[in-house]
Each structure stands twice: as structure tokens, then as C-alpha cells.
Structure 1
Amino acid sequence: MPEPTASIAQHYHERTKYDPRTINTKSKPLDWEQQPIPFKEYKIGTAFDLKAYLPETPDSLPNNATEAWWQRLSRLLFCSYGLTGLIPMLGEPHYLRAAPSAGGLYPAELYLVSRGTPMLPAGLYNYQARSHSLVHFWESDIWTKLQVACFWQPVLENTQLALVVTGVFQRSAWRYQDRAYRRIFLDSGHLLGNIELASAINDYRPHLIGSFMDDAINQLLYLDTEQEGAIAVIPLADLLEVKQNLPLTKTIFPAPTQTTYPHIPDGQLLNYLHEATKLAIEPSAKVNWKLGASDGQRTDKYNFPFCLKVSTEMSPIDWGDRLEGLENTVLKRRSTRAYSGTALTLEELKALLDFTYQPSHYSDQGLDGSPDYFDLSLVETFIAASSVTGLEEGCYYYAPKAQELRQIRFKSFRKELHFLCLGQELGRDAAAVLFHTADLKAAIDQYGDRVYRYLHLDAGHLGQRLNLAAIRLGLGVSGIGGFFDDQVNEVLGIPVDEAVLYITTLGRPQSQ
């Protein structure tokens, strides 16, 4: 059980760990008739159809400036969260989206706030993925309210559009109960990864804001806060406008830590943690958003003496002319359902790590060389290599600054990985399994309990880059949010103070 002095985020993390001794007693049968619909509908509002602005081919040229503007926005939204496939089912088909989601539940919603442009009147819009349209559900100049709610973040002074990502809690909690909070933020991190890359394709630069007055944003969007809450605000700088090529700023600042709280029954942990990690409405609060020289800077850890070290430096993945290969990869991405068990090559693993962790290597191709995260210095990466040609079996720490793998345990982990991933064959048959972790106590000491959101968002963001790199190379990839938390550390030799955030399995897909 959690320590009595643990903060609410630590308490939540301990309470929602899967344990092999209790997992079967805590699981509840699913009521399929109560499964939430993963789409939000508005009975009033003006619809802006975006389908006409999806080019037949990525190199299709618009006819005029107006069409070019709409084409860029349409492609950005479609590549971020659009419907890219469906699975026929009795009744309503199951739709697949550009961003992966645990259980296909898609808990995130995507809103657009317009300051007022010649193309898009001021007000609030919801992205309707099912029809690929924007519904203008509130017509008003609310940009100043957005600025206040974001503590006057300076990027908002010079931009005209902003995305807001929210989470609809019950969509995921219906299946995963209290632990769903982790998955909601991982899924939203996948979406942030897509927004980053889709923005680069379409000449936008997204600037992340994680510190905002939650209820001010919720009120701005007219959300039912018992059902839905804001997760991230993302001003979109238009890189075709000189004045919007803006300097980088901080994405977050320290928040309170709560160590006194009542007994929280099962089923109420998710909502309690979300409420506890909100930032209060303080219109007069002053925040220094200027980026410091050391903000978010990574430092490599776990440099054990005499351990095997393997360089991961290599040539970047080629994403094609005008990033055509990236757009195609986003739209055809699917989570792998089964692996063949055959090996990856070390060069393939290096390529996956290079795209995920070394974005500066891709600036020559038109990608952002320094994309926004909340604080990547808090997230660590470990890799269990089961079958990688040219790499000894074992568990490795990945040092992104040094660009090398450092072996911390040597043995075959296939059997243990099958167990750690709740008996999923993906863990057993993958060639390599990547673990994102964080020292949760240290992170909370730095940023307060709200950091629990940021850790999972950043892990999901990294996971999406892994997804896309793997698909580009013709490999299989699938994220896993359900695992035996403590046993991962014990089996792989990962330090006990590293909380496991996310698992990504990598391998060769089983032929159908």
C-alpha cells in the first residue's frame, strides 16, 4: 500500500499498479451496452467541411491562397486525429484514427480556438473526426480569456489559432477503471506527437502549454468538468508569417504537492487526482515563461563501470521529398497485433532510437529540430533486447545525450516479458521491448503532483515517434499500458525508484 506521507500522485500511482496477486480479483466484467461513444456531437453550430481540402495526393497544389490556407489546416487536423480506417462490426463500425489509443477508446477531444482570421471567424470549434469538419459552436472573441487562463503565455500574443486537447474520462475509465488516467494521458501524448509532426508537414509550429488554469479553460470550452477536462493548450504559429516564427518558451512551471487527503474509494481515484492537480484560477498571477539555459536539458544516467556500451549513431531515416513519406506513414500506421519472433537488426533499432530521441538530426528534412515536450529530462528509457542481430541479449539503458546503449543486465527475457506484459504474446514475441520510466518522487519534488500528467504525455509523445519510425521501416510496433509495475523493475534490473510509465514492443509483424 502507499506510504502515508506520499503525495496524491504517488498515492494514485501505487494504488493503480497491477499486481499478479490481485489483478484477477480487482478486474470487473465489461458492460458492452454502456461503452461510451468516442465522438462528441453538437446539436447547434455552423459546420466547416474540411474534406474538400484534402488533396488527392500530397503534392497536389492549391489553386489560390484561400484554398492553400484551408488545405494546410485540413491536413493538419486529419493527420493529427482523423479517421484513417474502420473495422466492420454489427451496428456502428469501429473507426480507427491517426493516433493510437488503448483499447481503441480514443478518450481525447480536439478543439480549435480562433482569434479571428479572414478564413475562420473568432470563437470556439470542435474537430469532428467522423465527418472531418469543424463545428463552430461559439461565436465570440475569447482570445483574451485564453491568454488569461494560460497566465499570459507570450506565444499567444503573436498567434491566431490554438488547439486544446481534452480528455473524456469515462471513455477510457469504462474499461480501465482508475488506471485509465494513465492511459488517457499516454493516448493524448500520441496525439501531441502527431500534432508536432503534422504541423511540420503543413508549415505550423505548435507550442505546448501544460500549465494553465484548468477550470478557466474548461469554462471557456463549456465542458462538463465531471466528464471532461483540459489536458494541453497548443498555440499554432504559422511559419509562413514572419512575425509568427517565435522563440521557444517554457511549457510548464512548478505546481503544488498535496500530501493530506481523505480515504479515496476505488472508482474515485481518477477524478480525485485530476481535481487535485488542477491549477487554480488566479487572473493576477505572474509567470516568467522565459526559457532558461538548463530547462529540460537531459543528463544521461546509469553509467555503470565496465558495462557493455554500444553506439547508436547512424544516418537519419529518410522521410521523402516534402515529407511525403511521413504523411503516408501517419495515415497508414496501425498497431501490430502479433509478432513473428524473428530478429530485428541493430541498424533498425538504432534508426528507431535516432528518430525518437534525436530530432535535431531531422531539421534538414523540414522537421522541427527542437520540438516542445514538457520536460524530457525526467523520462528515462530502458530496452530489453530479446532478438536483435548484432546486440547481445539483455536489458540496456539508452543514453540519448551520448547516443549509446549501456547494458545493465544480460540474459534472455522472453519468458519474463510475457509475464510482465500481463501474458500478452506481444511481449514474448517482440524482438525488443522499450520501457519509459521516471523517478516519480524526484519529478514531484520539482514540479508538484501535476507532473504526473506531463510524464505520461511526454512518454506517449515519444511512443508515437517510435510508432511512426517503425512503420516507415516496415517493422511492427505496439504500445502496452498494462503491466505488472513493480515486477518490471525487479526482473529487468531497473532501479526501484524508476516508475514505469509506458511499454512499446518492437519486432517483425507476423504475416497474415
Structure 2
Amino acid sequence: MPDLQVSIAEHYHERTKYDPQTIHTKSQALNWEEQPIPFKSYKFGASIDLKPYLSEESKDDWWQRLSKLLVCSYGLTGAIPTNGEPHYLRSSPSAGGLYPAEVYLISRGTPDLPAGLYNYQAKTHTLLHFWEAEVWNSLQSACFWNPALEQTQFAIVLSAVFFRSAWRYQDRAYRRIFLDTGHLIGNIELACAMTDFRPHLIGGFADEAINQLLYFDAEQEGAIAVLPIADLSKVREHLPLARTALPTAPQLDYPKIPDGGLLSYFHQATQIPYHANAKVNWTVPESEEHSDKYNFPFCLKVSTVCNPIRWDTNLRGLEQTMIHRRSTRAFSGEPLLLEELNAILDFAYQPQHYIDQHLDRSPDYFDLNLVETFVAVSGVTNLEDGCYYYAPRAQELRQIRFKNFRRELHFLCLGQDLGRDASAIVFHTADLKKAIEQYGDRVYRYLHMDAGHLGQRMNLAAIHLGLGASGIGGFFDDQVNEVLGIPPDEAVLYITALGRCLQRASLSGQR
């Protein structure tokens, strides 16, 4: 049995690292004839057209809010012409534009939304009611009676169609799937704030029970997250926070797994089994607050306290940013202002500064105590080049290495010019071994969704400020730690590159 001293999550992480010595030998030519379609189709069901409710003249408030929530979360926002079917773009970014996530609605049954199962058809902006039945009790049972499901009337379930991403990224696709899901969760959180809803994140559920409820072929598609949606226009749905993550036992005994089979095996190994009589304490522990981990003696410390970004009346600036957002393809290399970098970090990490704009002061994550943030600065005015640790509680950057890293960042980001030309690159990391001690192997999902959620907030803040942002999921894992001076026990989860675009798009609502 391989790697008996490490859990399957650690084994997966090591097996899917990119290394400069082997990356070219392991890469595979893409079979473009097998490129998956990023839309799910059904041969039956009743379709509900959501497009009319996007109009300001719509008189149906609830449907108008739901329509805006879905289009801002995962709706189509553009198209790139091709020789055949256009390549459609969505409000949520996805690695390689592959969009592995699917969005489902489960309704308890209301006059607006009859009971049953729905799939969001992003291509047509419709809801497909493909199963009409009382299913809410089954959802509650599969989620071990999470209190967020007691008063809410509908829930969003996010799934992953694994091959959509694995077609290009092979086994490493599992990382990107959960980063993409994190982007989507970030969009749902903010779109709910714009529409007077509140999502309650659930990552602890019985996987097989949810998969069966939604009629998934578990070899092809799996549930990733459940989000009961509270309607804040109804007082009874103003719910307290609940625990979002449940642990699994670390798996230390596993067979030799061939390349190409690791993703599927790992996903199965991190599932929570269903127990009809399971008792879960969903109360959030009082101690759950992010602590600043690294405080190096005598290091340069720079305050990130700033004026919050203003998102305009009724969050119109945020809505426009979500609709017009595009991942940046090229940076100019020109420096950012320190105030701009501070504003991006502030929006991502200090949600309490935005309650006067009716944003959630405490959005749901799985466990931000596990995620650390480092910033490699190559061009920020009034900030010395180098690598910094970002301390969110103290709201300051703490320098840990003195150097301009442009050349090294170009290498670390697999030779992408984005790494070389960015003004600042944000690295999300986690002590994987300690995280597994707390949550078991399932924590690998939680870590990457939280990193994607944070990355999406930074992405939107940068775009709103007229800057560029691009998420990078491909990098030389171990070399990042070596070059930047990040402690070796920190596993790199995600990279977000920030800078000035070669061609800056004009968005309404810029600060």
C-alpha cells in the first residue's frame, strides 16, 4: 500500500503537483473531439423562462429577485465566436472556460415555486422543473437536519460534472473544480445581498443521499455544496449562523491508484456516509475567528486600513461588475497604487466594513482559520518589492522577503506572462497536515472552495476599480514556497494575479 504514513488528501496533493522536471513528460495532448459541452440537458421537464423577470418593469418581485440572483451568480454574460457553437462566458470564472459546476434548486413547495427539483439552464436563463415531488424532508435528512433548512423554502445545490474539467487538467482538475465552485459561492453570496436573500453554506452532508436525490450518475457528477436560501423579506427566515463543515476520518490505507483514476478515487474517499440517526451539533464554536499566524520580528509592517469600496445605490456597481467581469489576459506591468491593493484586500477580508451598503457582515466560509495569504509585490507605489504575509485581523502586510520577484514569478506561473507583468500576486495557502487533523480528508474540498471564494471577491474588487485580475490554478507547487520564503508546511491552494490591463475596460460604478 502506498504512502501509508500520509492520508489520501496528502497523497493526492503530492501526486498532482506540477514540477519543472516532469511537467512536460506528464502533459497529454487534448482530444478536441472529446471536449465536453458545459451545459446539462434533460429530455423531459417543464421550463420556466426567467428572462422576462430581468426587466425593471417586472411586477413579480420574488421572481425578479430569483432571476437576478441566478444570472449574476452563473448566468451567460457574453460569447466568443468560433467556427461552430460560440464559446459562452459566464458571470463566474472557470479554469479554461470549462464550467464544471451545475446549479440546482430544491423547493419545499410554495405558491411561487412548486415542490421538487429544478436545474438552472444557464444557456437559456430558464429553470427546468424535472422532478415534481415533496423532497424537502429527504434534503433535510441528507444534511443531518441542519437548522438552516428548518425555515427556508428553497435551497441551491452545486454539483460538479467531473469530466468537463478532467478532460483538460486530468487528476489535478479536482483542485480546479473546487476553486471554480468557490468562485460560484462567492457570486451567490454577493448576488443574494443584492436581492434580499441570504445563503447558508453547508459542506457537511451525506454525498450519496444528495446524489440520489438529484438522480446523479455518481461516476459522472457529484454534489459539492448545499446552500439553503433565506428570504430576508420574511422575519422568520432571519436565521443564526450554523457550522458549515463536518469532518471525515483520514484515510491512511488505500491501494496503488493509476494516473487518471486518482480524481475519482479521492472524491469517493472524502464522502460522508449517511446515518439516519446521526446527531450533529451545528452550533458555531465561539472561538472560530481567524488569527494572524505569522508575526516575524523586526519585519516591515504596512497598514492596509483604507476607505471601503463604494458599490453605488442598491449595489448597482456590484451588479454591473459581476455581469461585465472578465479574467485579464495581459497586464501592462505598470504599478498599482497601494490604496488600490489595500481596497482589494479590504473587500475580500473585511466584510464588516460593508454593512452600511447592505452586504453580509459575516458571509459563510468553511474555515478561514485554515487559509493564509501571502502577497508577492513587484510594482506597488509606496510599497517595497518583496513577499508579504497579510494579517487580516491586524489589517497589515508583514514583509518576509526583500526582492523583486518578476522573473521568478514568471517561472512559478508556468511561464505565463501574467506572472511576470502583474503588479502583485496573492497566494492562498494552508497547512494541509493540520487541516486534515481537524476535518479529515474532506478538508481538501473546504480549503479550495474558501480560496476560490476569497479569490472571487478580490477579482470583483479589482475589476470595479478599473484594474485587472486573473486566477491561476497552474503553478510549480514546491518552488513557490522556496522562492518566496513561504514556510514549507504551507500547501499552495490558489494564485490571484493583480495589475493594470493593457486595455482597461470602462465600467459604470468605478471608484
TM range (shorter): over 0.9
Match of residue 147 from structure 1: 140
Match of residue 491 from structure 1: 483
Assess if the C-alpha contact under 8 Å between 2:120 and 2:128 holds in 1: yes
| 1:228 partnered with 2:221 | yes
The one-letter code matched in structure 2 to 1:450 is: R
Match of residue 45 from structure 2: 45
Q: Distance in 2 between matches of 1:177 and 1:404?
A: 38
Match of residue 12 from structure 2: 12
Q: Distance in 2 between matches of 1:39 and 1:284?
A: 37
Match of residue 26 from structure 1: 26
Match of residue 83 from structure 2: 90
Match of residue 455 from structure 2: 463
Q: Distance in 2 between matches of 1:411 and 1:329?
A: 34
Match of residue 319 from structure 1: 311
Cα displacement string for residues 91-137 of structure 1 (whole angstroms, at most 9, x for unaligned residues): 11000000000000000000000000101100000000000000000
Cα shift at 1:511: 2.4
Match of residue 275 from structure 2: 282
SS in 2 for 1:37: coil
Q: Distance in 2 between matches of 1:339 and 1:252?
A: 37
- Aligned pair count? 504
Match of residue 509 from structure 2: none
Correspondent of 1:100 among 93, 97, 102: 93
The one-letter code matched in structure 1 to 2:379 is: S
SS in 1 for 2:469: strand
Match of residue 431 from structure 2: 439
The one-letter code matched in structure 1 to 2:191 is: A
Match of residue 177 from structure 1: 170
- Which ranges of structure 1 fall in alignment gaps of 5 or more residues? none
Match of residue 414 from structure 1: 406
Match of residue 164 from structure 1: 157
Cα displacement string for residues 315-361 of structure 1 (whole angstroms, at most 9, x for unaligned residues): 10000001010000000000000000000010000000000000000
Q: Distance in 2 between matches of 1:264 and 1:452?
A: 18
Q: Distance in 1 between matches of 2:257 and 2:248?
A: 22
Correspondent of 1:356 among 348, 362, 367: 348
SS in 2 for 1:307: coil
SS in 2 for 1:299: coil
Assess if the C-alpha contact under 8 Å between 2:52 and 2:58 holds in 1: no
Cα shift at 1:404: 0.2
SS in 1 for 2:441: coil
Q: Distance in 2 between matches of 1:272 and 1:246?
A: 36
Q: Distance in 1 between matches of 2:362 and 2:91?
A: 23
Assess if the C-alpha contact under 8 Å between 2:206 and 2:271 holds in 1: yes
Q: Counterparts of 1:346-425 in structure 2 under 5 Å?
A: 346-425=338-417
The one-letter code matched in structure 2 to 1:254 is: P
The one-letter code matched in structure 2 to 1:303 is: N
Cα shift at 1:492: 0.1
The one-letter code matched in structure 1 to 2:491 is: A
Q: Counterparts of 1:238-277 in structure 2 under 5 Å?
A: 238-277=231-270
Correspondent of 2:286 among 293, 309, 314: 293
Correspondent of 1:78 among 71, 75, 81: 71
The one-letter code matched in structure 2 to 1:306 is: F
Q: Distance in 2 between matches of 1:411 and 1:458?
A: 29
SS in 2 for 1:450: helix
Which of structure 1's runs of 4+ aligned residues deviate more than 3 A?
Answer: none
Correspondent of 2:128 among 135, 138, 144: 135
Cα shift at 1:236: 0.1
The one-letter code matched in structure 2 to 1:134 is: L
Correspondent of 1:427 among 419, 428, 442: 419
Cα shift at 1:85: 0.2
The one-letter code matched in structure 2 to 1:425 is: D
Assess if the C-alpha contact under 8 Å between 2:432 and 2:489 holds in 1: yes
Q: Distance in 2 between matches of 1:467 and 1:405?
A: 19
Aligned sequence identity (%): 71
Cα shift at 1:284: 1.1
Cα displacement string for residues 365-417 of structure 1 (whole angstroms, at most 9, x for unaligned residues): 01000000000110000000000001000000000000000000010100000
SS in 2 for 1:112: strand
Cα shift at 1:302: 1.2
SS in 2 for 1:229: strand
The one-letter code matched in structure 2 to 1:42 is: Y
The one-letter code matched in structure 2 to 1:451 is: V
Q: Distance in 2 between matches of 1:71 and 1:114?
A: 17
SS in 2 for 1:382: strand
- Which ranges of structure 2 fall in alignment gaps of 5 or more residues? 505-511
The one-letter code matched in structure 2 to 1:239 is: L
SS in 1 for 2:204: coil
SS in 1 for 2:373: strand
Match of residue 334 from structure 2: 342
Cα displacement string for residues 29-50 of structure 1 (whole angstroms, at most 9, x for unaligned residues): 0000000000000110000000
Cα shift at 1:61: 5.6
Q: Distance in 1 between matches of 2:318 and 2:43?
A: 36
RMSD across aligned positions (CA): 1.0
Q: Distance in 1 between matches of 2:320 and 2:167?
A: 33
Assess if the C-alpha contact under 8 Å between 2:158 and 2:181 holds in 1: yes
Q: Distance in 2 between matches of 1:486 and 1:282?
A: 39
Cα shift at 1:301: 1.3
Q: Distance in 2 between matches of 1:274 and 1:360?
A: 35
Match of residue 68 from structure 1: 61
Cα shift at 1:253: 2.2
Correspondent of 1:113 among 106, 122, 146: 106
SS in 1 for 2:120: strand
Cα shift at 1:62: 4.0
SS in 2 for 1:235: strand
Q: Distance in 2 between matches of 1:62 and 1:109?
A: 27
